[in-house]
Amino acid sequence: MSDRQLLDLLTSTGDLQQELFGQARSVRHQRFGDEIVLRGVLEISNICQKDCDYCAMRRSNNSLNRFRLDVETIMEVARGITEAGINTIFLQSGQDTRCDPVLDEVIPAIANDLGAEVLLNVGERSKETYERFAQLGARSFIMKYETSDAALYKDVTHGPLDRRLQCMRWIRDAGMKIGTGNIIGLPHQSIESLASDIRLAFEFKPDFVSAAPFIPNPGTPLQHQPLGDLNLTLNTMAVLRIGLKDALIPSVSALEYVRPGGQLMGLNAGANVMTINFTPQLYREHYRIYSKDRFIVTLNHAINTAKMANLAANPGVKFRTEAPDCESLTNNS
């Protein structure tokens, strides 16, 4: 695919866009059939060492009520996820290295006792830590590069892109599947930069890849930045599907925040994963990854959205109304 063709696809509208989406769905059908993958996410800490300008969990946000879940709470929710028929337990947090002793306990317990796949998204660590997580039973890890533009990455995260890319390589070398992806709508981001993001994904060949629209997060330096463009996000997802035929691609909750029915649009653009939020309500409201009023994906919403896209969820998944709640909010640091 030439640079000109890639830019034309990214900016496509009307019939050309629908042709792009149709091709993406055809590739998905050939590789995966008509079934989507469901993951159950549990957000285990909103404490973060990083200070990214787009995220309210940034370390300099002193107004956020911080939490870190303990082993017992994580295992209780993990059991609930498997009882709902979901076999991928997605543990997500800010970059909080003090979570590592907890992870050292829950990874083997989830993998061995519950027989579930452990997917982590807990940020940058040392090569040895990734190796330990893999040895304990973690099967996969998400490390988004956010943007392939090193200067833009430094501007919005205040850290080096090279460090992020090195962590991605360490994760793969440790034997875990690797997921990555970008944000669409960062300040001063060009269409050429987005094309470079896609080229990076094509070169790295991740097992999972995502595209997410930027959402201005109250209380952050980028709170007045406009929403990321939905069509540009959907076009990126379709191009990623066509170029990375075997990758799992999520229809992220931010799509639904941008527009009701956005996740259905994501599935129709070639996505084949939806992530259901099982974080207890008491903690969930403090996990402000992209907005205080972010869209929370329930199991019923995911199943119904898949049906509208003429897709089926994992066999054995059961309807469930809410994630389990907890009685108190810890304030560990």
**How far apart are the C-alpha atoms of 323 and 86, rounded to whole Å?**
13
* DSSP three-state, residue 183: strand
Domains of the chain by range and CATH? Answer: 3-308 (3.20.20.70)
Q: Enter the pTM of the model.
A: 0.93
pLDDT tens readout for residues 212-237: 999 999 989 999 999 999 999 999 99
**How far apart are the C-alpha atoms of 120 and 147, rounded to whole Å?**
20
Distances (CA, A) of 112 to 103, 105, 106: 14, 11, 10
pLDDT of residue 269: 98
pLDDT of residue 2: 86
pLDDT of residue 313: 83
**How far apart are the C-alpha atoms of 146 and 247, rounded to whole Å?**
18
**Contact call for residues 248 and 273 (beta carbons, < 8 A):** yes
Task: State CA 29 to chain mean position distance.
Answer: 22
pLDDT of residue 327: 36
pLDDT tens readout for residues 99-111: 999 999 999 999 9
Report CA dihedral (27, 8, 154, 182) to the nearest 10 degrees: -20
Task: State CA 71 to chain mean position distance.
Answer: 23
pLDDT of residue 3: 87
Percent of the chain with pLDDT over 90: 90
pLDDT above 70: residue 250: yes
Residue (of 187, 278, 263, 173) closest to 224 by Cα position:
187
**How far apart are the C-alpha atoms of 273 and 308, rounded to whole Å?**
14
pLDDT of residue 219: 86
The pair of structure tokens assigned to 139 is 């099967």
| Mean pLDDT score of the chain | 93
pLDDT of residue 332: 38
pLDDT above 80: residue 324: no
Using DSSP, how many helices (H) and how many strands (E) does the chain show? Answer: 13, 7
pLDDT of residue 96: 97
pLDDT above 80: residue 319: no
